[in-house]
């Protein structure tokens, strides 16, 4: 339901386009790793993946499960709450591994949080945490890098700016782009695997941002 809802609602707040590498494939039991820039980007990524016939399980901040209606939908569909800084932190990887073993796709955000900056511009993904590499090491699952750009044009900044952005987005309908890259395999040294995944997601983000003419991506491509 969450993927279908994102697919239905995203066109109301932006103009979404999707591209893929020639060798991109969303095989059952794959980990999807995306860059995280805005509260809006999970919906944008889910809408893009829905177009490609994929409906992943999402690893998301546990606080969302406390939201009425949304929390029940997340639990019902098997999405995975990520508890940070407490004894349940490791449980999310157990749940993700089980979902992958069942042949489901799992969407994870390697950065582990949103950037603190207030502007709406695009920048390359920040440093990844080790959770992605640990999950790939444990399961042997391929990692599909996904880059999204434009979600910060829907919501970014402080809470007042985010609410204003969400309210005005149906009038502005900013351009959004998601690019799905070629799957990679991670293994061996965890730090090296984390860096490899970061490079792959950064490359996918660069393609997505360049599609929108973002200066940061164009500068990095030279």
Angle of helix 131-139 versus helix 91-101 axis, rounded to 10: 40
Burial of 206 (0-12, 13-18, 19+ CB in 10 A): buried
Instruction: Give the integer Cα–Cα distance in Å for 157 and 165.
Output: 9
Instruction: Give the integer Cα–Cα distance in Å for 71 and 64.
Output: 6
Letter string b/e over residues 31-64, b meaning 16 or more CB atoms within 10 A of that residue's CB = bbbbbbbbbbbbbbbbbbbbeeebbbbbbbebeb
List CB contacts of 47: < 8 A, sequence separation 6 or more: 3, 6, 7, 9, 10, 11, 16
Give residue 161's pLDDT. Answer: 84
Instruction: Give the integer Cα–Cα distance in Å for 222 and 51.
Output: 31
Instruction: Give the integer Cα–Cα distance in Å for 200 and 125.
Output: 10
Give residue 222's pLDDT. Answer: 47
Q: pTM surpassing 0.85?
A: yes
Q: What percent of the chain has pLDDT over 70?
A: 94
Give residue 165's pLDDT. Answer: 87
Give residue 112's pLDDT. Answer: 83
Angle of helix 2-13 versus helix 41-51 axis, rounded to 10: 110
Q: Which of 61-70, 131-140, 184-193, 196-205 has the lowest average pLDDT?
A: 61-70
Angle of helix 131-139 versus helix 190-211 axis, rounded to 10: 110
Q: What is the mean pLDDT of residues 177-190?
A: 95
Task: Give the DSSP letter of residue 52.
Answer: T
Give the three-state DSSP class for 150: coil
8 Å CB contact between 152 and 122: yes
185-198, pLDDT tens digit by residue?
998 899 999 999 99
208-218, pLDDT tens digit by residue?
999 999 887 76
Report residue 219's pLDDT band, with 50, 70 and 90 as the boundaries: low
Give residue 87's pLDDT. Answer: 60
Give residue 100's pLDDT. Answer: 97
Higher-confidence residue of 89 and 91: namely 91
Q: What is the mean pLDDT of residues 98-103?
A: 96
Above 80 in pLDDT, residue 84? no
Which residue, 86, 59, 54, is CA-closest to 74?
59
Give residue 154's pLDDT. Answer: 93
Above 70 in pLDDT, residue 1? no
Q: Which of 17-31, 71-85, 120-134 has the lowest average pLDDT?
A: 71-85
Q: What are the strands, taking DSSP E only, across the chain?
A: 15-20, 31-34, 57-61, 80-82, 106-109, 143-149, 175-180
């Amino acid at each position: 339901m969450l993927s279908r809802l994102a697919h239905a609602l995203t066109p109301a707040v932006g103009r979404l386009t999707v591209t893929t590498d020639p060798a991109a494939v969303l095989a059952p039991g794959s980990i999807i790793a995306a860059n995280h820039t805005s509260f809006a980007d999970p919906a944008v990524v889910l809408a893009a993946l829905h177009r490609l016939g994929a409906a992943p399980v999402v690893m998301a901040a546990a606080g969302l499960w406390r939201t009425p209606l949304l929390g029940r939908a997340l639990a019902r569909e098997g999405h995975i709450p990520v508890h940070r800084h407490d004894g349940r932190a490791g449980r999310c990887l157990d749940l993700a591994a089980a979902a992958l073993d069942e042949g489901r796709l799992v969407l994870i955000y390697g950065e582990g949080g949103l950037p603190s900056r207030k502007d709406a511009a695009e920048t390359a993904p920040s440093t990844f945490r080790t959770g992605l590499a640990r999950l790939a090491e444990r399961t042997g699952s391929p990692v599909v890098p996904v880059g999204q750009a434009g979600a910060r044009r829907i919501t970014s900044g402080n809470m007042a700016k985010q609410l204003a952005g969400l309210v005005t987005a149906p009038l502005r309908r900013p351009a959004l782009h998601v690019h799905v890259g070629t799957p990679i395999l991670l293994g061996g040294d965890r730090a090296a695997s984390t860096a490899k995944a970061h490079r792959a997601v950064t490359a996918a983000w660069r393609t997505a941002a360049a599609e929108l003419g973002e200066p940061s991506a164009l500068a990095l491509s030279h």
